[in-house]
Amino acid sequence: MKKKSLNDLSELSMVFSTGSNSLPIDEESNDQEESTIPKHLQKIRIRLDTKLKGGKVATLVTGLQGSAEYIEKLCKELKQKCGVGGNVREGEILLQGNHVQKMIDHFIKIGYKDTKRSGG
């Protein structure tokens, strides 16, 4: 009996199915990307934080929904705009320093209408 090669296994599109209406893996991933909320409906909150960077002031952007690649790209754009360092952690953008007002203005300009400052 011939063993299945990797080429034979790659032709299989179903990983697990309990019914006839299950979608192949490729179709499921496309649906998840399309189901993200449009920019103008997302609730973006921007606040200052001193607990994450060892007592130093940092700007935290929360509420972003989208792919990890999109959030990384947005983080890079924001870091260049403010001229500071930062990173993405668990879907939140963290920038060094106090840039709350710049972030609010930028997010409203690029289409996130429900962008507000949080935390006082």
Domains and CATH numbers, the chain: 39-117 (3.30.780.10)
The reported pLDDT for the residue numbered 43 is 94
For the cut 90, the answer to whether the pLDDT of residue 8 exceeds it is no
Q: Is residue 77 classed as helix, strand or coil in its secondary structure?
A: helix
Entry pTM: 0.67
Of residues 104 and 6, more confidence is placed in 104
Tell me the pLDDT of the chain averaged across its residues.
81
How far is 57 from 51, CA to CA, in rounded Å?
8
* Mean pLDDT in residue range 72-98: 94
Give percent above pLDDT 70 in the chain.
Answer: 70
How far is 104 from 89, CA to CA, in rounded Å?
19
The reported pLDDT for the residue numbered 60 is 95
How confident is the model over 62-81, as pLDDT tens digits?
A: 999 999 999 999 999 999 99
With beta carbons less than 8 A apart as the criterion, state whether 72 and 91 touch: no
How far is 27 from 13, CA to CA, in rounded Å?
10
